[in-house]
Chains A and B, each alone.
Chain A
Amino acid sequence: MIIVEHPESHAGRGWRLGRVVVHVTLAVVCLFYLLPLYVMVVTALKPMAEIRAGHLLALPAAPTLAPWAAAWSTACTGLSCDGLAPGFWNSVRILVPSVLLSVAIASLNGYVLAFWRMRGSQVLFAVLIFGAFIPYQVLLYPMVMLLRGLGIYGDLTGLVLVHVLLGLPILTLLFRNFFAGLPPDLIHAARIDGAGFWGVFLRVLMPLSAPVCAVALMLQVTGIWNDFLFGIVFARPETYPMTVQLNNIVNATQGVRLYNVDMAATLLTGLVPLMVYVVAGRLFLRGLLSGAVRG
Chain B
Amino acid sequence: MGKVTLRNLSLSIGPERVLDDLNLTVEQGELLVLLGPSGCGKSTLLQAIAGLTGISGGQVLIDGRDMAGVDPGRRGIGMVFQSYALYPQMSVRGNLRFALKNAGLPRAEIAARVDRVAAMLQLDGVMARKPSALSGGQRQRVAIGRALVRDAGLLLLDEPLSNLDARLRNDLRAEIRRLHDATGRTMIHVTHDQVEALGLADRIAVMQGGRIVQVDTPERIYRQPDTLFVAQFIGAPGINLVPGQVLRDDDGWAVATDLGRIGLDGPPRAPGQVQLGLRPEHFVTDTQPRPGAIRAQVDRVEPLGADTYLHVTAAAQRLVVRALSGRDIPAPGATVYLSPDPAQALLFDAQTGRRM
A contact residues vs B (CB 8 Å cutoff): 183, 185-186, 188-196, 199, 203-204, 207-208, 292-295
Contact = CB atoms under 8 A, between A and B. Distances in A.
Interface stretch (B98-106, B119-127, B175-183): B98-106
B139 interface: yes
A98 B234 CA distance: 62
Given A185-B83, A207-B89, A194 B52 contact: no
Contacts of A186: 85, 87
Main secondary structure of the interface of A (DSSP, over half): helix
Contacts of B86: 189, 295
Interface of B: 47, 50, 52, 71-74, 77-79, 81-89, 98-99, 102-103, 131-132, 139, 146-147, 150
Contacts of B132: 292, 295
The 3 closest A-B pairs by CB, nearest first: A194-B73, A193-B99, A185-B85
B72 A183 contact: no
Contacts of B84: 295
A203 to B, nearest CB: 8
Nearest to A186: B85
A191 to B, nearest CB: 4
B71 A191 contact: yes
Contacts of B79: 188-189, 192
Given A188-B52, A188-B79, A183 B102 contact: no
A232 to B, nearest CB: 43
Contacts of A190: 87, 98
A189 B157 CA distance: 12
Nearest to B98: A193
7 contacts: A185-B81, A188-B52, A191-B52, A193-B73, A193-B146, A195-B102, A293-B88
A193 B74 CA distance: 9
A208 B89 contact: yes
Given A183-B83, A194-B73, A208 B88 contact: yes
A189 B81 contact: yes
B71 to A, nearest CB: 7
Nearest to B78: A192
A203 B87 CA distance: 10
Contacts of B150: 193
